Structure 1
C-alpha cells in the first residue's frame, strides 16, 4: 500500500497476479522473459515508481540498446505507471533531457541508450544512490560484453539494508541468445529468472484474448509470442550478415554504392516497416543503416514518419498488395514510392539475390537484427525444412526484398523505372 497525503492505492489491485516472486526478490538479477501482453513491462514500471516513493535513496537507470527508442517505450510506460498510482502531482517528466524526477526528494529516473557508451558510464545522481538498472528489450543486446560493462556501472557502497539490482525484460525470440545460458540455465540464488505470458494478465479485454486464440493456428509463433517460451531457431534464411558500426556518409561516397528503400505495410497486428539500405554492387555488400517499425500506422502516419526520418524524396519500393495505399502516399508526399514487383516464386528469387551479398547491419537497427536472427525456413508436417520461409519475422525482410529488386539483373526480370 502507498500513502501520500490524500492518495491511497492498494497495490495488489493495480499490479494483479503472477508477479509475486518478482516483486519481492532482492537478489542482484531479476530476469523476465515473456510473451506479448504478459504485463512484464507494466509491472516493472509500477515497481520502479513504487521503489522511488518508498525509499529516498533509490535512483533508477533505464536502458535500451538505442536511445531513440526510449521515449515511446520505457518513458511512456513509466508515465502510465505514475498515473495508474495516482502520483502525477509528485513527479516531473521532462523530455530534454529525458528523465523523471520525484519532486519531494529530487530522486531521478534516468534514461540512456547503449549507442552512446560515454553517457552510460559517466552517470551520477545528486540524491541517494544509483542502485537500480532496468534493461528493457534486453534481447536487443546481442553482445554479452556490452551488458557486462553496463552491469559494472551499478556499484558502490550503499546504506545498510539496501542492495543493487538489475532487471532485464524481453521477448524470447531465440534460444541461441546469451541471455538463456547466462540467466535461465544458471543455478544461482542471486538470479530470479522467470517466464510469464498473457494468461497471467487479468486486465486483457475479450478482443485481446481472441487475438491469442487466433495465434494458436501458428504453433511456432504461439509458443514464443503467446506462451513466452524460447523460440527454437533452426535453418536461418540469412547467415551472411554481421552487426557493425559504420559511417553512412563514408559508404555513400563510394562510386559503386546506390541507396535502396523498401516498405511493407501493416496495421493492427503487424508493423508497417521501412528498410533503409546502401548497396555496394562491386563489393557485393548491403549496409542496413536505418529502419521504421511501428504498428497501428495510418497512411498519414507513414508519410509523417518517413518525412521526419528524412526519406520522403527517396525512391521506395512498397508491397504491391496495397495499391490504394501506395497511390495515397505518392499523392500526399512520398512522390517516388512505387509498387514492388510480385510474381511466381518472387520470394525465393529475392532471397536468393540477397544471399549473394554480405549484409552489414548498424546496431541501431534493432528490429532488423531481431528479424534476421529469427527468419527461418519453414517445415512440413513431418518437421522437415522446405524451400519456403516462415510467414513470421518477415516485415523488414520483405521490405529488404522489395528494395533489392532494382539490383536483380537476371534476364527476364522487369525492373521499375521512374
Structure 2
C-alpha cells in the first residue's frame, strides 16, 4: 500500500520564476542577487523533473569539487525534503551522488579542478541530458565552459531535452557570461535577472537589511540588492592572472618566501585566511590556498588552519581584534601577530601590491571573486575616489596584512620605503 499527497508547487516555490520553470531551450542562465531563490528554485526543478522524466540524469558542476557538498548537494537534499520524497532518494557522500531509487537515475557532482572526471561520465540508466553549473562566475575561462557544454551531447529519447542551467551572483560586466548570454538574442537562451524582491519567504528583518543597504550603500545595493552587473571600472588590482602552478616548485625557487594573512569575520562577513608565496626580485605573488567561512569561532579558526597544515606558519592578523589573536596564540598558532595598522596603511599597502604581478591558483575561487570586483569607492558624481569600497575586501585585506613586513624590504633597483 502506498500513500500520496498533493503539493502546490506555486505555494512551495513562490513567484518570479515562471519562465525559468517552463523553458526547454538549451541554456537557462539566471543572474540573481542575494536571497533571490535562484539555487533553491533550480534544486526543486531538478527533483520534480527527475521524477517526471524517467530517462533523465543530471550533472552538477562547480569550479572546485570541495565546494559542492555544502552547496549544491545540500541544496538538492533540502529540495527532496521539501517535496516530501526522502524515501525515494539515496544521498551518498562517498562518492558524492544522489540516486532516484525507483528508476536508478542519478545526480552526479563534479569539479572543474578534475576535468577528466567531467568529460568521462557514463550513466547506467537513461542519458545525461541536464547540467547545472552553480556559481557560474567562478568559471573565468569561456573555454572551460565550452568543454562542459560539449559534455551534454548526442541524441536523447523522445520527450526528453538537453539543457544547461547556469546560476550565479551578479558579477563584473567584463565577464564572458554577459556577452555570451545576456548581450544577444537567441531563442535557445533564457537569460534573466532576479533579486530578493521576488522572494516571499524573507522575513521583515531580512528586508530591513536590504533597505539599510539601499540607503547607506546604494552602489552595493545595485549589485547585491537589485542584481545588476558589478563593477566595470575603478578596479583596484588589474595586475593578476589565473593560472595553475606547483606550490612545491615555486617554493623551491631561491628568494621565494611564504606569506599568510588573516582577516576576522563572523555573522555578516567571512573569516578570510590568505596563503601565498612572494618573490621580491621577480615582483610576483602566487596565491595558492584560502579559508573563507562565516560563523567561525576562534577555536574553529584554529582547527581549520591546523587542518590546512599552516598552524606553524607566521600569520599576520587584523589588529582590530587583539583578544582573538591572543586566543589563537593560546590554542596553538604560536607565530600569529597583529598587523601594524597606521595612517594610510590601506592605500600604502595597495600601492605596494600593485607593483607585483599576482598569479592565482584556480582553486582559490573566493580570492578570484574578490580581486575581480575589489574597487575604489565612487563619489556622488560616480567617479572613483582614493578609498577602497567596503565590499569584496576580506581576502584583499588578509593579503595586505600578509605583505605588510615585505613592503619595507630592500629589492634590487628600488629604494627602501
Q: Could you tell me the TM-score, scaled by structure 2's length?
A: 0.96
Corresponding residue of 2:331: 332
Q: Which moved more, 1:134-143 or 1:290-299?
A: 290-299
Question: Does the CA contact (< 8 Å) of 1:233 and 1:376 recur in 2?
Answer: no
CA distance in 2, matches of 1:410, 1:377: 27
1:211 is displaced (CA, Å) by 1.4
Q: Which moved more, 1:123-132 or 1:203-212?
A: 203-212
Corresponding residue of 2:160: 162
Question: Does the CA contact (< 8 Å) of 2:231 and 2:375 recur in 1?
Answer: no
Residue 12 (structure 1) aligned to one of 10, 14, 19: 10
Corresponding residue of 1:371: 370
* 1:131-280 to 2 correspondences below 5 Å: 131-216=129-214, 217-280=216-279
CA distance in 1, matches of 2:295, 2:213: 18
Corresponding residue of 1:389: 388
Residue 49 (structure 1) aligned to one of 41, 47, 50: 47
1:244 is displaced (CA, Å) by 0.4
Corresponding residue of 1:316: 315
1:173 is displaced (CA, Å) by 2.0
1:128-170 per-residue CA deviation (whole Å, 9 max, x = no partner) reads 1100000000001111111011101101111112110000000
| Number of residue-to-residue matches in the alignment | 408
1:95 is displaced (CA, Å) by 1.0
Question: Does the CA contact (< 8 Å) of 2:298 and 2:327 recur in 1?
Answer: yes
1:55 is displaced (CA, Å) by 1.2
CA distance in 2, matches of 1:240, 1:381: 28
CA distance in 1, matches of 2:253, 2:4: 65
Q: Which moved more, 1:297-306 or 1:168-177?
A: 297-306
Task: Find out whether 1:73 has 2:71 as its counterpart.
Answer: yes
CA distance in 1, matches of 2:31, 2:136: 9
Following superposition, which runs of at least 4 residues in structure 1 exceed 6 angstroms of deviation?
Answer: none
Corresponding residue of 1:92: 90
Question: Does the CA contact (< 8 Å) of 2:235 and 2:373 recur in 1?
Answer: yes
Q: Could you tell me the TM-score, scaled by structure 1's length?
A: 0.95
CA distance in 2, matches of 1:179, 1:368: 19
Which ranges of structure 2 fall in alignment gaps of 5 or more residues?
411-417
SS of the residue corresponding to residue 8 of structure 1 reads coil
1:293 is displaced (CA, Å) by 1.0
Question: Does the CA contact (< 8 Å) of 2:261 and 2:398 recur in 1?
Answer: yes
CA distance in 2, matches of 1:7, 1:48: 19
Which ranges of structure 1 fall in alignment gaps of 5 or more residues?
412-418
SS of the residue corresponding to residue 258 of structure 1 reads strand
CA distance in 2, matches of 1:378, 1:400: 19
Question: Does the CA contact (< 8 Å) of 1:275 and 1:292 recur in 2?
Answer: yes
1:125 is displaced (CA, Å) by 0.5
1:301 is displaced (CA, Å) by 2.0
1:410 is displaced (CA, Å) by 6.3
1:336 is displaced (CA, Å) by 1.8
